[in-house]
Structure 1
């Protein structure tokens, strides 16, 4: 059921892919890499306060919680400690626009995590939330323009 809801999101494919991989347990977090005998530190590079698991990376980290608060999504969290439980709760409790922002914010948090790992470049909470909002807005506007271009092409080619 959750996989179907992820697929039906009105968000970029890269966002759906990230959520799909996260729910499937396939994100290469430090804990996941360590379980595959890759010699890495287990701390989450964004906060250095806890082991980097998928749930810590996308939901429980203090930095990520600050992002949720800044995005006015403070209710994001989970009682059962799983990402699946968290997302199921989000899909039930929040409206479509909030769910789409949460999905893009998860993607942006993951992207910022990678910037920290690979380029030692950190971002502020404000930047992460703003960039997530801009990404979602630009993608949604592009979808409207693409639809109207397609409809215009269809109408003109029939005439």
Structure 2
């Protein structure tokens, strides 16, 4: 296993919709490397485009910072349902380091995916897990946190992020 470089915004790969993973594609090394990279970052989710791979796969572990590791691998996820109940919460992104934004999302989500063994799974998630899945799923569709804001709010957030990065460079 090895750490992968995390792609930083405004890299165009973060704005590109990802291709489905083919049935014969071997993702073992990529998944292992993504999990190692996520834990080292330290993050709770990491999508393939964040490491420069434009495939529909992400990893997450919403439990590991408070307890034992419980990694989840989602290959070719498909959102089946989102609740009408929504809630705002702070979100951060490994590809936009140092910037936290308040984003409103559905509180529950039902999703179908293939796990690391390529077995079909379907489950409803709520709370932080639902939020994490939606954040990583956005990456697979070429969306980043900035895309959740009006053009004026986005312009201000992008300027804040860019000036913050220039100050630390």
**TM-score, with structure 2 as normaliser:** 0.23
TM-score (norm 1): 0.24
Greater helix fraction, Structure 1 or Structure 2? 1
User: Which has the larger share of strand?
Assistant: 2
Between structure 1 and structure 2, the one with the greater Rg is 1
